[in-house]
Amino acid sequence: MIELYFHPSPNPLKVALLLEETGLPYQVVPIDTRAGEQHLASFRAINPNGKTPAMLDDDVRLFDSTAMMLYLAEKAGRFLPVNDLVRKAELYSWLMLVATGIGPYCGQAVHFKHFAPAPQEYAVNRYDFEAWRHWKLINERLGQQAYMTDEYSIVDMSVWGWARVIPFVLGPQAFEQLPHVKRLLDEINARPAAQAAEAIKGRFAFKAEVDEDARKHLFPQNARLHAG
């Protein structure tokens, strides 16, 4: 049985979407990152990086969301080209753009806009610019075709995970400049698998507040500002 170590944030949700799309049986293990559960030794034994998601498939361990997407698509034999290196190359390229561009820049934009202990104009400008630049690449691609590759795939699911939070990342009017991203988001939101993935968070009592205790767990680097 697959165990998905889950918090209702973009990367765990895209993995949950893929699991729901494939129909592979799995169970959810909640990890409340605002309560610091990602730092527990039991979780770090699965994911030494101390981030969600993580996954166990019997004796197989995975601790990166993109690795999970590739693993699960291969396991299910769906949402990934089979025996077609050219189509795989295109999928891999867009998948890694989401993994190394969309995720990190959106994450840093959110941090410096919403959670930094003091205003950081330079950091906000840099990460907001790069988040927009990457989303415009995605929007341009989706203006040319229905999906990120030639059919619905793990790339679109990865885009969906982060597109859900675009207003929080880029501002409430951001979709006016990203209409093709919004079209894909709405299409995937209508799928039963996406609705099932979104419903997971309602089954568990995840901490909602980002109070001082949560900040200690989410941003342990801040302790160095007061050290010495």
Domains of the chain: 2-79+195-220 (3.40.30.10), 85-189 (1.20.1050.10)
* 152 has pLDDT over 80: yes
Whole-angstrom Cα distance, residue 148 to residue 143?
10
The stretch 8-32 carries a mean pLDDT of 98
Band the pLDDT of 228: cuts 50, 70, 90.
low
Chain segment 57-72, per-residue pLDDT in tens: 999 999 999 999 999 9
Residue 71, Cβ neighbours under 10 Å: how many? 18
Can you state the angle between helices 103-110 and 10-22, rounded to 10 degrees? 140
Band the pLDDT of 174: cuts 50, 70, 90.
very high
Question: Per the structure block, which two tokens stand in for 127?
Answer: 């990460």
pTM, entire model: 0.95
Whole-angstrom Cα distance, residue 163 to residue 168?
10
Which residue from 110, 135, 112 is spatially nearest to 122, judged by alpha carbons?
Answer: 112
Whole-angstrom Cα distance, residue 43 to residue 188?
31
Residue 83, Cβ neighbours under 10 Å: how many? 6
Whole-angstrom Cα distance, residue 170 to residue 85?
35
